[in-house]
Structure 1
Amino acid sequence: MNEKNAIFSTTANSLVDGMDRRKVLLGGIAVAGALAMPAIVRAQSTPKIRIGFWPVASGLPFFAAVDQGYFKAAGLDVEVQKHASAQQAMEAMLSGRAEGSANGVATAVLAVGEIAQPGLMKIFCSNPSNAKYVLDEFIVAKDSPLQSVADLKGTRIACGPGIQNLTIARSILEKAGVADAKVTELPIAQHVAAIATDQVDAIYTLEPTGTVGRLNGVSRVLEAGVVAKYLLGDPMAPWFGGSATLTSTFIQEHPDVAKQFMEAYRRGVTLLKTDPAKARPSLKGYTAIDGALTDEVPMNDYVFYDEFTPEQIAYFQKYFDLFTEKGIFSKKLSVESMLYKA
């Protein structure tokens, strides 16, 4: 009997010891999980933000924000994506390969993506240009006899790639009385070379192309601020040709991170407006501008989602309506519906 009790006691003690070991093991796992939890939460709260840009001067606030470390200071993981065209930047968002676009990415192209997938993105900053804040222009050879857009009838004309550039170039030519003009699309990096080698007589392009051509002694600006003048009816009207966006999915899934990103981006805009000499060097590496040439590029204006006036929205809508009239937009698109609202 005593032997049975001893065996029972030994077995019971073994079971208790096993239970204790399991408790310790489970407790250790729980502690390890608790210690790991903050790291997991941090990883989830700071997702990678892939932003596409087109190498034009109006993307400068984004370039500066990256170079000055504004995104890193906000604890954000921002990946910079360079695209050969605005359409590629838009398609990256459509396919889920990007969470947004930088200023300079063509607004009309972004709108095409919005029509294809309603609610795709929200505009949080746009870059208006006109005769004062120059972005858009026609350039010709330095010694060209051409004096205005109206003189381009019968000449060889090119423009940047994508439906926005092509539609704008053709529409400006029509308004200037240049009917049935044939316009060839060329990558923006080839514009100055195309003038230098006499491939074309004139090109509708965007800064910094005009500055690069002028400072290299190759080309001159025929007319600047042409969208405001010919398509909006006022040389000083704001043309919202490019915009910074975030996808609606990203905003919905990470609302706080989205706000942090926009505020860090706003620091880039503020730097450009208050200390342009500090911001301008960031054109190097992102655009064709290099070295001391960065001081020569004309700057755009920038309007954040909480700064738009009714008049500005009306001009923005007039621009969108042009693409509806031309059949580029399959339906009328509301600018206000695309603007981010806090």
Structure 2
Amino acid sequence: MENFTLNRRKLGTLATAAAATLAVPALRAQPNLEKPKLAIAVGGKAAFYYLPLTIAEQLGYFKAEGLDVEISDFAGGAKALQAVVGGSADVCSGAFEHTIALQSKGQYYTAFVLQGRAPQIAIGVSTKNMPNYKTLADLKGKKIGVSAPGSSTNMVANLVLSRAGIKPTDVSYIGVGTAGAALTAMRTGQIDAMSNTDPVMTMLEQKNEVRIISDTRTLKGTLDVFGGPMPAGCLYASAEFIQKNPNTCQALANAIVHGLKWLQTAGPGDIIKTVPEAYLLGDRALYLASFNKVREAISPDGIVPDEGPRTALRALSSFDPSIKADRIDLRKIYTNSFALKAKERFKA
């Protein structure tokens, strides 16, 4: 009888331990992380373009993967890219097309988890400075605000203007960031037009301060502008970093895909409670209106669509003579291996 009691107690203890393990999945055995403490550079973290990164950070998904992540925010993607290339950051949360631009210069960087399946960038002309705007040709010689010169907002502007025969040198690009400074630049007349992300563009649009002339905040708008699916925000790193730190990259992909999964079902109240107050730019209602506009542009699973890399290459080579399409190896600019594993893990 004593043995039976002891065995029953032992079984109870084991059952309790098993239940605890199931209740806290983050505590299950993690692969050895080669670099648990690392730095991520991002250009314009408050933009919806990088919302999955913020969600993963705010909800503790990086920590759940055993990562200690330091995120440095820059004015635009081009600045964040410089931080990674210069070695002050390990990974960039940036635009997918940067991997193509880098390869054209002999630098091999690979996107390993997607945050956005559409660029979420809109171009608007100032209703104050250009009330009589009619066609793209009217922008020749004008000042155009972008998050930072060389960023994805700059790239989209170059692409759209090139179709009207306007070269990058025919306009003046001015870096205005992606938040309050961008709003101020437009409202004070410092710029004549702007290529930027939400929530800034929706806020200006709803107050009739800009007239939208090109829009990639929806899948349809992206198809109209690019002629195919256009991968946007992603995490990318040097091919060498990924090769040396596969478990770390998997953990990063897990955290982002976990965030993407959360965003699929999150309501407006969930978003407001999760993002930092400063991201709302003083107007919760307009922030949520912006989110609803770009929601479908957020990747559902972190996977780069098959046709996406070709679309990106076609877009860049159409206006940038330094990018020779026949010299770019698309197989080296992205991998879906990490995102596919993360999707499998969080499919339930």
- Calculate the TM-score normalised by the size of structure 2: 0.70
Tell me the distance in 2 between the aligned counterparts of 1:230 and 1:259.
32
Q: Displacement of 1:321 after TM fit?
A: 3.0
- Aligned partner of 2:193: which letter? A
Q: Displacement of 1:255 after TM fit?
A: 1.6
Of 139, 155, 176, the residue aligned with 2:164 is 176
Q: Displacement of 1:315 after TM fit?
A: 1.8
Q: Displacement of 1:329 after TM fit?
A: 6.5
Q: Does 1:197 align with 2:188?
A: yes
Q: Does 1:253 align with 2:244?
A: yes
User: How many residue pairs end up in the alignment?
Assistant: 295
Q: Does 1:141 align with 2:127?
A: yes
Q: Does 1:111 align with 2:107?
A: no
Tell me the distance in 2 between the aligned counterparts of 1:315 and 1:233.
12
Q: Displacement of 1:251 after TM fit?
A: 2.5
Q: Does 1:301 align with 2:288?
A: no
8 A Cα contact 1:52 1:81, kept in partner: yes
User: 2:13 is matched with which residue?
Assistant: none
Tell me the distance in 2 between the aligned counterparts of 1:221 and 1:332.
35
Q: Displacement of 1:259 after TM fit?
A: 0.8
Q: Residue 310 and residue 100 in structure 1: after superposition, are their counterparts in 2 closer, same or farther (change >3 A)?
A: same
Of 126, 149, 163, the residue aligned with 2:150 is 163
Root mean square deviation, CA, Å: 3.7
Tell me the distance in 1 between the aligned counterparts of 2:278 and 2:154.
23
Q: Secondary structure at the match of 2:72?
A: strand
Q: Residue 88 and residue 288 in structure 1: after superposition, are their counterparts in 2 closer, same or farther (change >3 A)?
A: farther
Q: Does 1:87 align with 2:87?
A: no
- Aligned partner of 1:296: which letter? A
Tell me the distance in 2 between the aligned counterparts of 1:168 and 1:240.
13
Q: Secondary structure at the match of 1:246?
A: strand
8 A Cα contact 1:124 1:245, kept in partner: yes
Q: Residue 82 and residue 309 in structure 1: after superposition, are their counterparts in 2 closer, same or farther (change >3 A)?
A: closer
Q: Secondary structure at the match of 1:176?
A: coil
User: 1:50 is matched with which residue?
Assistant: 39
Deviations 1:182-209 (A, max 9, x none): 2322222433222212223222222222
User: 2:88 is matched with which residue?
Assistant: 97
Percent identity of paired positions between Structure 1 and Structure 2 = 18
The answer to which of 213-222 and 64-73 deviates more is 213-222
Q: Displacement of 1:65 after TM fit?
A: 0.8
Q: Displacement of 1:147 after TM fit?
A: 5.5
8 A Cα contact 2:117 2:298, kept in partner: yes
User: 2:230 is matched with which residue?
Assistant: 239
Q: Residue 44 and residue 172 in structure 1: after superposition, are their counterparts in 2 closer, same or farther (change >3 A)?
A: closer
Q: Displacement of 1:338 after TM fit?
A: 1.1
Q: Which runs of 5+ in 2 are unaligned?
A: 1-29, 338-348
Q: Does 1:74 align with 2:65?
A: yes
Q: Displacement of 1:167 after TM fit?
A: 4.5
